[in-house]
Amino acid sequence: MTKAEIVAKIAHKTGLDKADVSTSLESFFKVVKNSMAEGENIYIRGFGSFIVKKRARKVARIISRNKPIVIDEHFIPSFKPAKVFAQRVKGSSKLASGAKKADAPLGSTSTPGSGAATPAGAAPSSQPPQA
């Protein structure tokens, strides 16, 4: 769902003008961004928490050059849904029916017993899969 779709849905449900809803939504986003930029967490009961998380300094590696680089400590925004919100999504029947469809990738088939998917149109290998 896009921001425009959210604005349209809220405008339809509340009877408010789309411009007013859009202004309110933009104001909400601005408050969240500015507050988090200042290190302030935002807690919305029944919805969730916008939290600033601290990432420790670490050494990473550029694989192509096998060169270590240092990533300094930094902060990232994070969202943690409220229990009520998470349980509602978890128990959604629409998502459960969509998950069954998403389990098998489109255009792929599986050979019995191999546990591996082969691209559509490709002949399955007669050799057993290697670990």
CATH number reported for the structural domain that contains residue 64 in this entry: 4.10.520.10
* Residue pLDDT, tens place only, 65-103: 999 999 999 999 999 999 999 999 998 888 767 666 555
Check residue 110 and give its pLDDT: 47
Count how many domains the chain has: 2
For 12-24, how does the pLDDT look when each residue is reduced to its tens digit (9 = 90+)? 999 999 999 999 9
**26: domain range?**
1-38
Is the same domain home to 2 and 25? yes
pLDDT at residue number 92 = 85
Asked if pLDDT for residue 119 goes beyond 90, the answer is no
Answer for the pair 55, 74: CB distance below 8 angstroms, yes or no. Answer: yes
pLDDT attached to residue 130: 54
**Quick check: is 13 in a domain?**
yes
Cα 17 to Cα 11, 25, 73, 106, 121: the distances in Å are 6, 12, 44, 41, 52
The answer as to whether 124 is a domain residue is: no
CB 28 within 8 A of CB 44: no
- Domain annotation covers residue 30: yes
- Per-residue confidence (pLDDT) for residue 115, from 0 to 100: 47
